[in-house]
Amino acid sequence: MFDSLSTRIQGVFQSLRGEVRLTEAQVEGALGEIRLALLEADVNFKVVKAFVDKVRDRAMDQEVLRSLTPGQHVTKIVRDELLALFGESEGGLRKVAPKPRVVMLLGLQGSGKTTTSGKLALWLKRQGRHPMMVSTDVRRPAAIAQLSVLAEQAGVRVHAPESMDPVSRARGALAEAKATGLDTVIVDTAGRLHIDDDLMDELQAIKEAVQPTDLLYVADAMTGQDAIKSAGEFNRRIGVTGVVLTKLDGDARGGAALSVVSVVGVPIAFVGSGERLEDLELFHPDRIVSRMLGMGDVLSLIEKAEQAIDQDEAQRLEEKLRKNQFTLDDFRTQLKAIRKMGPLESILGMIPGMGNLKQVADNKPDEKQMGRVEAIIGSMTPGERRDESMIGGSRRKRIAMGSGTSVEEVNRLLKQFREMKRVLQMMGQGGIPGLGMGKGMPQVPIGGLRQGSGHGGDGFGMPGKKRKKGGPWGLIKTR
Ligand SMILES: Nc1nc2c(ncn2[C@@H]2O[C@H](COP(=O)(O)OP(=O)(O)OP(=O)(O)O)[C@@H](O)[C@H]2O)c(=O)[nH]1
Ligand SMILES: [Mg+2]
């Protein structure tokens, strides 16, 4: 999301940052480009106009223009105003709710309501809550089954009564949650291609019956301005407390996200960035804006790493690394952790300066090849994994056969593993420079992946010699 918008905005600022003095004409030129970039990203034109006017007002101030770092000043003003577009809210569900809390999802057909119900259930579970789900979509025969499958995947209970009346299904779920002590009821609802009175009446009736604290409008980001128009309509007729923007992994231009608060007047609660249950994130306006301005989304990255990496495991790995006892087994653990963090593309997008690098996209570590690396390590004996120096020619042949790879691949992996060990050793107390994280925190090597050139794009990607010390895939610290 926001890829081309980010590239353009960052381009504007790069040209400004070098300037010792800014003229009004320069600022006006930059604003013109930002205006175009926003319009091309499908941001509502009224929103764009108001935004540019506000930035202009603040940036044309003589104090800004004459300051020592006018470029930075203007960047900061744009950052503030972008944040204002997203509203004050930090996303998520309402802070206060009765128990059990009822969360109702609404929206047009195919926007992602049912998928988001499943994602939300898993998200809540990971927050230590005890959710249950219910489908009130009785028109589409497969809809109820779809929700049950998701509930099973998320490992949460689903209320599945005989009744085919949407209102009594929702009511029944609430009663069951009360009786069994579950703390959240997620109510999935039917969608329509277009807003119609029948649908609105049904939603209204469900709402009155179960009194949801959170009414989340689920909008497909790919449909841009249309999604927002209907959000406004749902808000007027039913009342909406937050928006979930889905399919941000697609080539949505992102304008919808930037317009929704101004146009509909409700904050973005969550964003969906994939089809898997894990692909739901709390909406953090400040992080998204930082990402857009090329400041990277380091916090999200750290959070993902924390979710994927077990703290004790991290300590253990760090200890081993220090003692130079890092083995192929540990390496495999890391690979698994990285894969748990989600699609590599979305991870790369969070690293400062990486999001827009064309060559990163082209050379990004290939998930398939990570699978091959895991297969190779899986075909080794425990002894071999502990001490790779014992893996001679015939063992390599056996491992290649066992993993369905080639001796060359095994050789390459071993060579890269040794190199990685050496580099990790060298980096020692490294960490990622410039992240402003204090010393003395445990460091988790989640490395093992390298983007860019150095080894001919083999995709196995170990931190190569050419990488700067402590690059993003080197050591990541956890809190
Ligand atoms: N890529 C991607 N696909 C998504 C996302 N969220 C949902 N989908 C896909 O969108 C399609 C529709 O999702 P559903 O959850 O069935 O949508 P719905 O709003 O419940 O649809 P109806 O019940 O028919 O109104 C499915 O194929 C989902 O896998 C997302 O964040 N990213
Ligand atoms: Mg559905």
Mark which of 274, 292, 310 sits at the end of a domain: 292
The two tokens of residue 267 are 């904050």
Q: Tell which atom from ligand 1 comes closest to the C-alpha of 272.
A: 31
Rounded Cα distance, 178 and 156, in Å: 15
**Closest Cα to atom 29, ligand 1: which residue?**
275
Distance 247 CA to ligand 1 centre (A): 8
141 lies in the same domain as 13: no
Task: Count helices and strands (H / E) in the chain.
Answer: 21, 10
Domain boundary among 18, 51, 86: 86
* Domain contains 165: yes
Query: What torsion do the CA atoms of 196, 198, 201, 206 make, to the nearest 10 degrees?
Result: -110
Closest alpha carbon to 262 in 112, 91, 83, 57: 83
Statement to judge: residues 240 and 105 lie in one domain: yes
> Can you tell me which atom of ligand 1 is nearest the CA of 107?
19
With the most atoms of ligand 1 within 8 angstroms of its CB, the residue from 123, 186, 193, 275 to mutate is: 275
Q: Are 34 and 52 in contact (CB under 8 A)?
A: yes
Indicate which CATH number applies to the domain containing 157.
3.40.50.300
298/347 Cα distance (integer angstroms): 10
Answer with the one of 264, 292, 320 that is the final residue of a domain. 292
Distance 116 CA to ligand 1 centre (A): 8
Q: Same domain for 203 and 218?
A: yes
Q: Would you say residue 382 lies in a domain?
A: no
Q: Establish whether residue 117 lines the binding site of ligand 1, counting it when its CB lies within 6 angstroms of any ligand atom.
A: no
Q: Please report whether residue 105 resides in a domain.
A: yes
Q: Whose CA is nearest to atom 3 of ligand 1?
A: 275
Is residue 114 within 6 Å of ligand 1 at its C-beta?
yes
Distance CA 43, CA 84 (A): 14
DSSP secondary structure string for all residues of 340-390: HT--HHHHHTTSTTTTT-HHHHHHPPPHHHHHHHHHHHHTS-HHHHH-GGG
Establish whether residue 109 lines the binding site of ligand 1, counting it when its CB lies within 6 angstroms of any ligand atom. yes
User: What is the atom index within ligand 1 of the atom nearest the CA of 192?
Assistant: 25
CB-side exposure of 282: number of CA atoms within 13 Å?
Answer: 17
Give the pLDDT confidence score for residue 462 in this predicted structure.
33
Say if residue 53 is in the same domain as residue 193.
no
Statement to judge: residues 273 and 349 lie in one domain: no
Give the 3-state secondary structure of residue 220.
strand
> Residue 64 sits in a domain of what CATH number?
1.20.120.140
Q: How does pLDDT run along the chain (479 residues), one tens digit per residue?
A: 677 788 888 888 777 766 767 788 888 998 999 999 888 888 888 999 999 999 999 888 877 777 666 777 787 888 889 888 888 777 899 999 999 999 999 999 999 999 999 999 999 999 999 999 999 999 888 999 999 999 999 999 999 999 999 999 999 999 999 999 999 999 999 998 887 899 999 999 999 999 999 999 999 988 877 778 889 899 999 999 999 999 988 766 778 778 888 888 899 999 998 999 999 999 888 877 877 776 655 556 656 666 666 667 777 777 777 777 788 888 887 777 777 766 666 666 655 555 444 444 455 556 677 788 889 999 999 999 988 889 999 999 999 999 999 999 999 889 888 877 776 666 554 333 333 233 333 333 333 333 333 333 333 333 333 333 333 333 333 33
Which pLDDT value is given to residue 428? 52
**Shared domain check, 338 and 210:** no
For residue 377, being part of any structural domain is answered with no
Q: Structural domain tally of the chain? A: 3
Does residue 134 share a domain with residue 280?
yes
| Whether residue 269 is found in the same domain as residue 355 | no
CA of 187 to the centre of ligand 2 (A): 11
- Ligand closest to the CA atom of residue 108: 1
285 and 172 within one domain: yes
Instruction: Please give all residues whose CB falls under 5 A of ion ligand 2, grouped by chain where several chains appear.
Output: 113-114
Judge whether 389 lies within some domain. Answer: no
Ligand located closest to 219 CA: 1
Q: Let me know whether 212 and 356 are in one domain.
A: no
pLDDT of residue 437: 31
CB-count burial class (<10 Å; 0-12, 13-18, 19+) for 134: buried
Tokens of 74: 């203007």
Residue 436: C-alpha distances to residues 203, 293, 433, 439, 443 (Å): 48, 18, 7, 9, 14
Give residue 112 CA to ligand 1 midpoint distance, Å: 3
250 lines ligand 1 (CB under 6 A): yes
Is residue 392 situated within a structural domain?
A: no
pLDDT of residue 473: 36
> Mind spelling out the 3-state secondary structure of 161-199?
CCCCCHHHHHHHHHHHHHHHCCCEEEEECCCCCCCCHHH
Cα 107 to ligand 2 centre (Å): 9
| Separation CA 66–CA 78 (nearest Å) | 18
Q: Does 344 share its domain with 463? A: yes
Domain range for 44: 3-86
Q: Is 136 in the pocket of ligand 1 (CB under 6 A)?
A: no
Ligand whose nearest atom lies closest to the CA of 111: 1
Q: Is the minimum distance from the CB of 247 to ligand 1 under 6 angstroms?
A: yes
Asked if residue 126 and residue 182 are part of one domain, the reply reads yes
Instruction: Flag whether 95 is in a domain.
Output: no
**pLDDT at res. 460:** 32
If you measure from the C-alpha of residue 199 to the centroid of ligand 1, how many angstroms do you get, rounded to a whole number? 19
In a domain, 383, yes or no: no
Burial of 479 (0-12, 13-18, 19+ CB in 10 A): exposed
